[in-house]
Structure 1
């Protein structure tokens, strides 16, 4: 059966037209350059947070975000005389709750009815916030990639200085890059699920998991001990360095005990690493070994913290304290 395509009479009323465009986030307004007054419809009044139908323009200008005000005032004044279409964006209010508005119309005589310049305001808040989020993500990605290349160059140089052979160099460097990959994956997953900071308990378990069969390992880091994603690599390198040294000479080489504990009190975070078997060939405790140099560079320079390490008959004791503010 053919559809009935016979046109029916339909008239746009002012009420139906206004309701339709309001649903699309479009508001109607007009202003008088000579008297510097603006007329606002219902949605405009909602945008500007006013109950007045006729408002002095300067009163509206005071509500514009301070960063946007000068440019918005210039564009607004120009729209009274410059011919042709115009569009300029600005924020009403300040901070995260500011509303983004796009003012659009035709300038000059074409946009005027009597003394009033007629135009629209379009709510573009959602689009602007999406753009801001995209720009932030891009900037963060660039920062992370730059940091990763910096870390890679530093690791390559440090490992090369201490390598005894080409296979030893390749194995050590590959292992350290693997740790960075694990840490980056953990931080990226945290971002993807909007979880924010990364729990050090999760990171430590990830780094120490390969040693679980050969030693008695206990990890007890409070849930309050978390780090931002851009610091995960630092802590991954610290855990990896301690674990690597222990696997060569200490508790993780077989049969020993390892206790890793951590807590944060609001101003500082404290981590302790205790091994129950004294290393037989551990790096020098005076801080001249490769491991000590790497720890010092990461903890003191990058994290602005401090650490102590001691080796005696009862085993190895390592403690680090970093500010959380």
Structure 2
């Protein structure tokens, strides 16, 4: 049985890291693999430590050799990983190839890692065919306001009805409601390790005009100071690691915006973004791929992974009532501040 250790899953605040856990659990339910969430670290011999560095160090101090997959939301940079962790047999997961290459480039030690993206919930994010589709949704994630203004100006000139949504300033229900009436999205975003929000748009069969980026540092915000000049200049990088011709059109420079927007809006009926998600990133497909990581890298058998036996009925600290109450109090304060 898999023990899922996550701080994010306790939160009521819907963000990418929480989606990674929630969607994998849905996928495991689909394919029939049992799991527990935030059980004691010694409750099973198979752990996924999603975003909790304290749990990772504690698990590595346990007797025996538990099979541990860590990430993708546990460390941002490889320099954050304690040397005690690097010396152990831990498999780190990255949502996209460019992220793995980023870590390889800026790590001073060889890190055992694989690429694994989470599946997308196509039932929750399904098209609503009964609604009129006459909106162009402009999605802004930490890009210069001048980029967003350029898109809005181009849409105004074409007489398009549009709305702007900004990362961090909306509820998921608002996003779903806008996508339900959208015929297209213009995505003006920063680098994405996977881009679950973008993929949910595709799942609702809404094509995307993706204004992509050239380097990792193509974003605005205080977090720029967390990275070196070399890291900010890193390439190749993208705002959409999972995207092909079924999904829409990609552009890089503002000079290409006007002609590409014209081509995109005139060819919306030719795209099939939902088919891409169903084929490449279904919940069941990616849950199966996750289970395979334990079989391939730790020689775990199907019977071991499906065993219902728990060695302990205790909880890790993330599963305690105190942690849950504290997390939800923080969520409530965050909502008030918004």
TM range (shorter): under 0.3
The structure where strand makes up a greater share of residues is 1
What TM-score does the superposition give when structure 2 sets the normalisation length?
0.22
Q: Please tell me whether Structure 1 or Structure 2 has the larger radius of gyration of its CA atoms.
A: 1
* Superposition TM-score, scaled by structure 1 size: 0.22
Task: Name the structure, 1 or 2, with higher relative contact order (CA <8 Å, separation 6+).
Answer: 2
